[in-house]
Amino acid sequence: MKEQLTECNAAILAGQENFLDHGIEEDFAQSDTKLLERDVEEAKVTFQNKMLALQRIQIMDALRNKLKKDDEDSSLILEAMKRIVLLSRAIIGCQQKVHQKEQQLINMKRKRLSLKKHGGQKLQQINTMVKRQKEKKASVNVAETERMLDKLESEKQKTAIVQHMFQNIIIGSKVNWAEDPSLKAVVLLLEKNDCLQ
């Protein structure tokens, strides 16, 4: 890629490329440059990681050599290493506890979500049951109302028959009902009720 970039730069300087090819080559060169920069960054990171690993190995080797001497410094180093090991174990134990607590939290969230979903389903079932009961009650009320209206109509018809019988009795008796105020009130009431039907 470096060679291609060099060739492109040389061609541009020499003026051998036309204007359109120049734009395409420039885009190609920019993309190649970005790729090269990314490769360089990756190489730097890899180099730094290898340097850190090498330094750790060198430190460990120096510590081993120092511990072999068995002097006061080596005993201090040994005590520090024991303390580091204890702290590392404590850290690992804490990390395991944190992991367990996170798992418990995840399980609780799952359970809560499950309960929430189950509660939603139950609420929907309750709403459906209430709606059905209302519909059933409404249909029962409609049937009850229709039955009562039929009964009322039947009673009206019976009342009309009784009223006609009274009218016929009064007229058939050839009594002058217009002169008797109580009979007049009854006949007029019967006719008024007859007109209302």
Contact 170, 187 (CB under 8 A): yes
Contacts of 25 (CB under 8 A, 6+ apart): 8, 11, 12, 17
pLDDT digits (tens, 9 = 90+) for 133-152: 888 888 888 888 888 999 99
Could you give the count of Cα atoms lying within 13 Å of 181 in the half-sphere of its Cβ?
A: 0
Q: Give the whole-angstrom CA distance, residue 30 versus residue 1.
A: 11
pLDDT digits (tens, 9 = 90+) for 29-66: 788 888 888 989 999 999 999 999 999 899 888 878 87
Position 11 pLDDT exceeds 70: no
Structure confidence at residue 14 (pLDDT): 64
Q: Give the whole-angstrom CA distance, residue 136 versus residue 128.
A: 12
Q: Give the whole-angstrom CA distance, residue 189 versus residue 177.
A: 13
Structure confidence at residue 17 (pLDDT): 45
pTM, 2 dp: 0.38
pLDDT digits (tens, 9 = 90+) for 154-196: 988 888 888 788 777 877 777 777 777 877 777 777 776 655 5
Using DSSP's 3-state secondary structure scheme, residue 174 falls into: coil
